[in-house]
Chain A
Amino acid sequence: MPIADPLPEPADLDAYVDDQLTEGQRAQVEAHLARNPEAAARVMRDLALRRDLRRALAAPPAPRPLLGAARRLAIARRRDARLRGMLRIVPAALLIGLGWLAHAGLGPLSVGESVAAAPAPPAVAAALSAHQVSLLRADMASQPETRGLDAAELRAATGIALPGFPGDWTVRDAQVFPSPQGPGIEVLFDTDDLGPVSHFAVRAGGFAVSLPHLHTTPDHAAAWFQIGETAHVLVADRDRAEALLATSVALSDTLY
């Protein structure tokens, strides 16, 4: 606290009101105000004005869609952070893996089945055949379709958690479907924007987290991702590939 009054400029008073000063500067301004009632009155008034402005411009409660959009962004950011965290482990895991390979007397370059980053995991092949079977069943009178989707029972029986599907998707058929990886869940939907879409989920036999990837065949597009031990594959017609990939991103979001 200076003995000589430095006589703050009006700008300093503004900065004081705007809370832009360091502790030391604040102390200086306050010392000045204590000796200068006129300036003090102005500062008090500006502080009151700021408080009143905050009250005058207080927004009504946020509408629902706004909250929803904020939550989606918040969740996406958290998930991105978590994913980054996991990816950060990868180099360490890789080193440990290499160490194990060396220990096991294998050349570090002998690419084992599990090391090869397959462009499309086997679940995709299973999903494509499940999709074709579902479409086949849909056209057959003697093969009744199950239009009820009991996610809880399916989860209890198979250990597979289904994502939250969009509300405007209609279930046409839901069945437990055999695959080389074990029983999978195949659900066929009717959708407005993607046409018939299959969601196929199966235990992948290992833990991984991967962002959705697109795999196309001459007729079909398959978007696959893995979260934890379950691989998810969406299958639709080939010409919907881009939209399918976008949808799979949204679906994967619901699983965190």
Chain B
Amino acid sequence: MSKTRDPILDLLAPLRRYAFALTRDRAEADDLVQDTLLRGHEQRRQLAPGKAPGPWLRAILRNRFLDRRRSDRAQARREADFAQLTPQAQEGAQDDALRLAQLRGAFLDLPEEQREALALIALDGLSYAEAGQLLGVPPGTVMSRVSRARARLRAFEDGADRPALRIIGGRDADC
């Protein structure tokens, strides 16, 4: 086919990442993306020609996620499982892979609003305004969520041995 990649295919990785940030589960994330693409296929005529498909698909994905969660009884159980799983982050991660795994754990442990905002801004490179539109909040709110998320991750990196202690505000003695 044509040489330039289709924008939809380019969106696959960001959508999967966003879905993972929301669901915190790979299989469920991919299932959510699949669902989103099918929805998109059905509703594609709602997207005005020439408009970027990214925000549109992200909005579908987010709505699908919220719908699912509303009807998901297993959610509480999964949250509990997850809480059990995370505090085992160990200190002194010399190993890069281990450190990344811990960072990932810390990211997934963020409150949902912060996790979602950070994923959209830092991972997918949306603007505060774009993310605000998707989330239905003012850009300033997105900004402060991202900022709080980052402060938490910084605090986590500083004190990986005390994961149970939540440091809010993230003031750290700079090394």
Q: A59-B13, A66-B37 are in contact. Are A54 and B153 (CB under 8 A)?
A: no
Contacts of A2-60 to chain B: CB distance below 8 A: 10-11, 14-15, 17-20, 38, 41-42, 45-46, 49-50, 52-57, 59-60
Contacts of B5-56 to chain A: CB distance below 8 A: 6-9, 11-13, 16-17, 20-21, 26, 29-30, 33-34, 37-38, 40-41, 44-45, 49, 53
Contacts of A50 in B (CB 8 A): 122-123
Q: Is the interface of B mostly helix, strand, loop or mixed?
A: helix
Q: Please give me the residue from chain B that is nearest to A47 by CB atom.
A: B122
One of B21, B53, B143 near A11 (C-beta < 8 A) = B143
Contacts of A57-88 to chain B: CB distance below 8 A: 57, 59-60, 62-63, 65-67, 69-74, 76-78, 80-81, 84
B154 touches A74 (CB 8 A): no
A59 touches B122 (CB 8 A): no
When chains A and B are docked, how far (Å) is the Cα of A69 from the Cα of B42? 12
B174 touches A53 (CB 8 A): no
When chains A and B are docked, how far (Å) is the Cα of A72 from the Cα of B44? 11
B146 touches A70 (CB 8 A): no
Contacts of B101 in A (CB 8 A): 56
When chains A and B are docked, how far (Å) is the Cα of A65 from the Cα of B17? 17
Please tell me if B65 contacts chain A, counting CB pairs below 8 Å: no
When chains A and B are docked, how far (Å) is the Cα of A55 from the Cα of B53? 25
A80 touches B100 (CB 8 A): no
Q: Please give me the residue from chain B that is nearest to A51 by CB atom.
A: B122
B12 touches A66 (CB 8 A): yes
When chains A and B are docked, how far (Å) is the Cα of A73 from the Cα of B107? 31
When chains A and B are docked, how far (Å) is the Cα of A42 from the Cα of B174? 8
- A residues sitting closer than 8 Å to B (CB atoms) are 10-11, 14-15, 17-20, 38, 41-42, 45-46, 49-50, 52-57, 59-60, 62-63, 65-67, 69-74, 76-78, 80-81, 84
6 interchain pairs (CB within 8 A)?
A50-B123, A53-B107, A57-B20, A73-B41, A74-B7, A76-B41
